[in-house]
Structure 1
């Protein structure tokens, strides 16, 4: 049995804590706020779980496995957190042909979708859709609360809310009050603040999202609608359908921007720009309930998600947007597989001391 310290009670931290506890390890979850923390990057009504990654066969296979593991987590928590409504991705004829080729080589299903079968959604001119039936909508806040409750009831797990972290060392977490938590393995998954604690360098992004209530006459249609992506004038917009207590959410990379810190002020009318995007037919009939900014970090070199092994005993996972939710079970399994080596490293350190 090893001891695992998880810094950050977002999706990656909680999924990793669950997998480690199920494997028989002792787990301590620390967060500077409550667990779960409504101010965390992971906190949201819903996130998309995509399986089909056009032009990426290996990525599609990996996400199919992640999707299966999300179903296992849902069964473990005995809480409905996954809405299996599928995901549609818009594309030109050439792009759709490549997407179907990717699906065939990865062994996942995919079907063509005509834009007129999704009349409330504005498809870019000259595009159709590919439907990924394995895709889904994850009820993010519901999962975070269910995961925290499961961990709180587990005898090998300790939850420590209100414990801000000052620094990370080999096999240890130093808190701002001067106390230290020792562990065989440490995972730092503290959202955009991860890089400051454990590296590596990242670029911080801010994304504006809007939450809408559909008009009453479309409520029944939206109840079973899929997620839809690569829409909008420059094909950088996404929408997640309402359901399970969540509203309709729209977002677009057109209003994604780099920021120095999460506290950096915004002087631009980003919400107005997002709401002006041609995403929904008859958009004036939808009620804007809320607008929210979220932050995520991307690798400074590749621009992609960050998962780094800083030391034999320390892993770092910065917040990386919706893809971080989808891949969280895969990240957890990868980290879990290194616990034995981390424990050996700790024993060797003690002998040398």
Structure 2
């Protein structure tokens, strides 16, 4: 039995803790707030789970396997947090042959949709919708609560909320906490989101995203309850949305509403641009009620632009990445940490 120490109780930290505990290791999870933490980057209504990567059949096949992993996690953790409603991606009609070929080689099911089948969503001129059948939306808050409940019941897991990490000794695999105590393990994972870069030297980029939450009109609720998640939408193909359902709101944003940020404390932007962008994604925007406009942060690996793991110490691994890719690929991080813990046990 190895001792695994995890800093950060977002989706990466919690799913890794579950995987390690199931593999027979002793796990401690520490977080600066409650567990789960409503202020973490993972704590949101929904995250899209998709597989299709046009031009890359291998990546598509890997992502399709992650879809199946999330189904197994739902069965293990209990609760219903995976809405298998499909994901539609806008794609130029004259380039769909490449998309179909990748889907065939990766053995995933897709269908091509005429824009008229999505009457309330704007697709760019000359685009069609490519729908992944085995894809959908994770109800993010439910995932975190379900994982936390499972971990609380496991005898090999210790959860330590309200403990902020103030220093990391990467050579000794030790965390120093704000209450004067320390934690040491054979393997350590730092998954503290945007704060990871303040603890260890990892190459990350901080983004600030403006997101709009809407309530659809009553006569469209039934349509939206069955609607898929959608990306590459809007007149300029930069928009995306998560449909309402299971108590969530309609959520939309765009790459146009995202920018690099120097710190977590920069002033909020003017919300006018976010309100105006609704007109570019929805066909009848005046009928929707704006419930909230939020500024959120997420981080990516500065080299790959996604959720790569860094190794700042011999047995210390760090993942600052958050957002959709961080959620989707959390099981891959968990697998890697379990392999390291097993290797340490064998040694």
TM class, shorter-length: over 0.9
Single out whichever of 260-269 and 104-113 deviates more from structure 2: 260-269
Deviation at 1:343, TM superposition (A): 4.9
Unaligned ranges ≥5, structure 1: 346-353
Which residue pairs with 2:30 in the alignment?
30
Q: Does 1:283 align with 2:285?
A: yes
- Report the 3-state secondary structure (helix = DSSP H, G, I; strand = E; otherwise coil) of the residue aligned with 2:280: coil
Distance across 1 between alignment mates of 2:346 and 2:270? 52
Which residue pairs with 1:351 in the alignment?
none
Q: Is the 8 A contact 1:199 1:316 kept in 2?
A: no
Which residue pairs with 1:147 in the alignment?
147
| Cα displacement string for residues 154-186 of structure 1 (whole angstroms, at most 9, x for unaligned residues) | 111111000000122232111123211011111
| Cα displacement string for residues 177-227 of structure 1 (whole angstroms, at most 9, x for unaligned residues) | 321101111100001111221231211000011111111111111111111
TM-score, with structure 1 as normaliser: 0.94
Distance across 2 between alignment mates of 1:193 and 1:199? 11
| Cα displacement string for residues 67-96 of structure 1 (whole angstroms, at most 9, x for unaligned residues) | 111001100111100000000100102332
Deviation at 1:265, TM superposition (A): 1.3
Distance across 1 between alignment mates of 2:107 and 2:201? 36
Which residue pairs with 1:296 in the alignment?
298
What's the C-alpha RMSD, in Å, of the aligned pairs? 1.5
Which residue pairs with 2:181 in the alignment?
179
Which residue pairs with 2:64 in the alignment?
64
Which residue pairs with 2:135 in the alignment?
135
Single out whichever of 264-273 and 94-103 deviates more from structure 2: 264-273
Deviation at 1:299, TM superposition (A): 2.1
Q: Is the 8 A contact 2:213 2:252 kept in 1?
A: yes
- Report the 3-state secondary structure (helix = DSSP H, G, I; strand = E; otherwise coil) of the residue aligned with 2:226: coil
Single out whichever of 276-285 and 43-52 deviates more from structure 2: 276-285
TM-score, with structure 2 as normaliser: 0.96
Pick closer, same or farther for the CA change 1:243–1:225 going to 2, 3 Å: same
- Report the 3-state secondary structure (helix = DSSP H, G, I; strand = E; otherwise coil) of the residue aligned with 2:222: helix
- Report the 3-state secondary structure (helix = DSSP H, G, I; strand = E; otherwise coil) of the residue aligned with 1:21: helix
Distance across 2 between alignment mates of 1:277 and 1:300? 32
| Cα displacement string for residues 240-294 of structure 1 (whole angstroms, at most 9, x for unaligned residues) | 1111111111011101001111111134336535544410111110111111121
Single out whichever of 270-279 and 226-235 deviates more from structure 2: 270-279
Q: Is the 8 A contact 2:90 2:129 kept in 1?
A: yes
| Cα displacement string for residues 117-163 of structure 1 (whole angstroms, at most 9, x for unaligned residues) | 11111111110011101111000001111111111111111110000
- Report the 3-state secondary structure (helix = DSSP H, G, I; strand = E; otherwise coil) of the residue aligned with 1:319: coil
Single out whichever of 95-104 and 116-125 deviates more from structure 2: 95-104
Deviation at 1:322, TM superposition (A): 0.5
- Report the 3-state secondary structure (helix = DSSP H, G, I; strand = E; otherwise coil) of the residue aligned with 1:85: coil
Single out whichever of 267-276 and 228-237 deviates more from structure 2: 267-276
Q: Is the 8 A contact 2:310 2:319 kept in 1?
A: yes
Which residue pairs with 2:274 in the alignment?
272
Pick closer, same or farther for the CA change 1:19–1:129 going to 2, 3 Å: same
- Report the 3-state secondary structure (helix = DSSP H, G, I; strand = E; otherwise coil) of the residue aligned with 2:221: helix
1:192 corresponds, among 184, 191, 194, to 194
Distance across 2 between alignment mates of 1:208 and 1:5? 33
Unaligned ranges ≥5, structure 2: none
1:240 corresponds, among 226, 239, 242, to 242
Which residue pairs with 1:319 in the alignment?
321
